Structure 1
Amino acid sequence: MLHYRTQELSPTSPWVTFVHGAGGSSSVWYKQIREFRKGHNVLLIDLRGHGKSERGMWEKGDTFAEVSKEVIEVLDEIGIEKTHVIGMSLGTIVAQTIADNYPERVKSLILGGAIIRFDIRTKMLLWIGRATKLFIPYMTLYRLFAYIIMPLKKHEESRLVFVNEAKKMCQKEFIKWLSLTSLINPYLSRLQASTTAIPTLFLMGDEDYLFIPPIEEVVRRHQAFEFVKIKDSGHVCNIDQPDEFNKLSIDYISKIEQQNAIVQFG
């Protein structure tokens, strides 16, 4: 089972599950925990091969479906029937997959630095990574990815957090996660079409130049989705602007909880 840790406020408080991105771990949410635990039960998970979770869990043909199932196994272990899910970067794909395969378990999605499509620049970057993964050290590739995705001086803290966390991985784990991106665009398009019934908030740094355009396009098509740009922030907006990220997320969860209460009690 994946490594996880919880901070429980009360049996009646809503659960919020945090899903980190590739190369990170549950520790990347260090600027969220204090605020969220004031009114929520918090679940922090290390995805396979990350943080304190086990290495070598991959089997041939594994996809995001298997990764998302492992998160559900943690929910079952704890006894969480439904949860709000907050994802970051590649973790937003895991979050959307959970919502697609287990919609009855998800109250809402909050997708920070969301990845819903790779453009030509991102696909080229990933192609280079897959083409050189066997003979270039994975940390060299990861540092390159981090600088391209988070290029500005003000993004330095975010880069350092993810680079330092990625050092805890190994080459084989990095390669396995990288391989999941090979056929991602058709998969992501299907996910957005299938999860429109679940309340979804996209939180994007206004300097997240690679991933904002696809978000703007999908929000125009699916008006059920909400989208907020966070000023002076790059891809990892929960670290760059934590106060704004926390406020927007907590306000959104409160709104969904109120709507659910109205439906339940009529």
Structure 2
Amino acid sequence: MSDLLFHKTYLHPTSKEWVVFVHGAGGSSSIWFKQIKAYKQHFNLLLLDLRGHGRSNNMFQDMMKNPYTFKSVTTDIVQVLNHLKIQSAHFVGISLGTIIIRNLAELAPERVKTMVLGGAVTRLDARSQFLVQAGNLCKHIIPYMWLYGLFAYVVMPQKTQKESRLLFINEAKKLCQKEFKRWFKLAADVNPLMKYFKERDLPIPTLYLMGGNDYMFIKPVKEMVSKHKHSYLTEFDNCGHVCNVERPDDFNQHSIEFIQRHQQMAA
């Protein structure tokens, strides 16, 4: 099964519920280390590494020549679900992983029970669009780790975000230059896709967990939540973009309670 994403499961002795964790660009499933202990007390867990990331970095040799699309990256996850015979699950994502989860809900809504979207990216503002465009122009000239380091610093500038920043930079070092360029190009497709998502309110319970200091992404999330009747927002004070690392206890408590509440309502 070499064409499957690298994945790891934690089985619960009695629960039938599955939670699937989707990391962001440049990360890997290891960024969920502060969630596993709390979550595995209640659910079966599936952690995976997106293509080119973590331990999925040697796979998909046949796809290496093709550009990535959000659809192809999302389909990788569906294949793992099929392989494990998981009909439907709760999805927890961070940063760019939230777009992939939202896309999965669009492509296969019957597979998604609830969505927990941390540090959600719902729109790139003028500043981040400029960064992506500048990065796209320079990506053949500037070493990609410089670019990634700059991005990490712009998205997570505060001292309190140092742990998150270093975690992502260390994970990104495991990406090869070609892989980085493919994911970077994908970032340019974010806005048209998110415009479409903004206009469509899916009937899937969705919890946005955002840091109050996540200045690049929190405003568009607030706009989205005000328009969508199945979406909810919890904001953490003095917290930045990667709220599952900065405020793990709050992240775990709010997200687990949300999943359990909707699980009971569905039952």
TM-score bracket for this pair, using the shorter chain length: over 0.9
Per the alignment, residue 50 of structure 2 pairs with 47
- 1:184-229 C-alpha deviation (Å, 9 max, x unpaired): 2121121243452111110001110000010111111113210110
Question: Does residue 1:12 correspond to 2:5, yes or no?
Answer: no
Mapping 1:110-149, distance limit 5 Å: 110-149=116-155
Question: Does residue 1:203 correspond to 2:206, yes or no?
Answer: no
Contact residue 2 and residue 54 of structure 1 kept, 8 A: no
TM-score in terms of structure 1 length: 0.95
Per the alignment, residue 24 of structure 1 pairs with 27
Question: Does residue 1:255 correspond to 2:261, yes or no?
Answer: yes
Matched-pair identity in %: 46
Per the alignment, residue 264 of structure 1 pairs with none
Question: Does residue 1:235 correspond to 2:241, yes or no?
Answer: yes
Distance (whole Å) between structure 2 residues aligned to residue 248 and residue 134 of structure 1: 42
Distance (whole Å) between structure 1 residues aligned to residue 13 and residue 73 of structure 2: 28
Per the alignment, residue 95 of structure 2 pairs with 89
- 1:145-174 C-alpha deviation (Å, 9 max, x unpaired): 011000011100001110111111111000
- 1:108-159 C-alpha deviation (Å, 9 max, x unpaired): 1100000011110110111111111011111110100011000011100001
Question: Does residue 1:173 correspond to 2:179, yes or no?
Answer: yes
Mapping 1:68-107, distance limit 5 Å: 68-107=74-113
Contact residue 201 and residue 229 of structure 2 kept, 8 A: no
Distance (whole Å) between structure 1 residues aligned to residue 23 and residue 172 of structure 2: 12
Distance (whole Å) between structure 2 residues aligned to residue 219 and residue 173 of structure 1: 33
User: Could you say if the C-alpha distance between residues 62 and 169 of structure 1 is closer, same or farther in structure 2, counting changes exceeding 3 Å?
Assistant: closer
Paired amino acid for 2:33: Y
Query: Cα distance, 1:59 vs. partner?
Result: 4.8
Question: Does residue 1:36 correspond to 2:39, yes or no?
Answer: yes
Distance (whole Å) between structure 1 residues aligned to residue 34 and residue 124 of structure 2: 28
Contact residue 232 and residue 241 of structure 1 kept, 8 A: no
CA RMSD of aligned residues (A): 1.2
User: Could you say if the C-alpha distance between residues 116 and 58 of structure 1 is closer, same or farther in structure 2, counting changes exceeding 3 Å?
Assistant: farther
- 1:218-247 C-alpha deviation (Å, 9 max, x unpaired): 111113210110122100000000000000
Contact residue 67 and residue 182 of structure 2 kept, 8 A: no
What stretches of structure 2 of length at least 5 have no aligned partner?
Answer: none
Distance (whole Å) between structure 2 residues aligned to residue 170 and residue 60 of structure 1: 16
Contact residue 100 and residue 195 of structure 1 kept, 8 A: no
Query: Cα distance, 1:60 vs. partner?
Result: 3.0
What stretches of structure 1 of length at least 5 have no aligned partner?
Answer: 262-266
> Tell me, what secondary structure is at the counterpart of 1:52?
helix
Distance (whole Å) between structure 2 residues aligned to residue 257 and residue 213 of structure 1: 29
Distance (whole Å) between structure 1 residues aligned to residue 181 and residue 6 of structure 2: 21
Distance (whole Å) between structure 2 residues aligned to residue 61 and residue 170 of structure 1: 15
> Tell me, what secondary structure is at the counterpart of 2:208?
strand
> Tell me, what secondary structure is at the counterpart of 1:204?
strand
Contact residue 23 and residue 50 of structure 1 kept, 8 A: yes
> Tell me, what secondary structure is at the counterpart of 2:13?
coil
